[in-house]
Amino acid sequence: MKVEISKKVDAIYQFKKAVKKIMTTWLSDSVKELKQSALSLKKTSNRKTGVKTSQLARNIDFVITEDEEGYHGEVGTGVGKAKNVVYAYIQDKGGVIRKKNKMLTIPLGETKGTIANFPDGFFVKSKKGNILYCYRDGKRLKPLFLLKDEVNIPATLWFSSVMEKREPVLKDMFKPENIFSEALKMVGGK
């Protein structure tokens, strides 16, 4: 009479799980920091009323995929369930936005919408040579939009600075002793 017990311990599997857990933690923490960084852009905006929607912060996510080479992680806008935010790159790196067919329209003050929302308006040239779209408010002109051929967007480094700061953290987390420690924790060790 005998009793046989067995349990297969796949060390490689435990190490892979540990790597995935470490990667998930790093990516998740990166998303949190990136969202905070993106939200800080609202606070430093030079627009008086800062009518912003936090679209950039809402559309940062991460995804992990696995193939024969291992796990691959990706973080940013347009990743996972997040929508791509077309201005994310220029907001980070800075650059010049040039007109395509029509001049760029920049809302002034509390103006919302587009020029088409203000059919009674008209164009004027200011003393400084700027083209403004205005409407009459009694005897006064109220400027609604500034029209430009191009605008210079300053670099905010909202993405780059966070990733630069997070890179050494990832390198530390991926040290063999940390992966081993995480794998040991996952199988009930200390």
**Torsion sign across C-alpha atoms 95, 101, 106, 110:** negative
**Residues 144-162: tens digit of each pLDDT:** 999 999 999 999 999 999 9
- Do residue 167 and residue 105 come from a single domain? no
**Residues 157-186: tens digit of each pLDDT:** 999 999 999 999 999 999 999 999 998 888
**Residues 34-90: tens digit of each pLDDT:** 999 999 886 544 444 444 568 899 999 999 999 888 899 999 999 989 999 988 999
- Do residue 79 and residue 25 come from a single domain? yes
Angstrom distance (rounded) from CA 35 to CA 21: 21
Q: What residue numbers bound the domain in which 165 lies?
A: 10-94+154-190
- Do residue 15 and residue 72 come from a single domain? yes
For 121, the 3-state DSSP assignment is coil
- Do residue 33 and residue 57 come from a single domain? yes
In a domain, 48, yes or no: yes
In a domain, 146, yes or no: yes
> Mean pLDDT throughout 12-34?
92
For 161, the 3-state DSSP assignment is helix
- Do residue 84 and residue 174 come from a single domain? yes
In a domain, 183, yes or no: yes
Number of domains the chain contains: 2
- Name the E strands within the chain: 60-67, 70-77, 95-98, 104-107, 122-125, 131-137, 140-148, 150-153
What is the reported pLDDT for 50?
43
- Do residue 80 and residue 19 come from a single domain? yes
pLDDT higher than threshold 80 for residue 2: no
For 154, the 3-state DSSP assignment is coil
In a domain, 2, yes or no: no
- Do residue 15 and residue 76 come from a single domain? yes
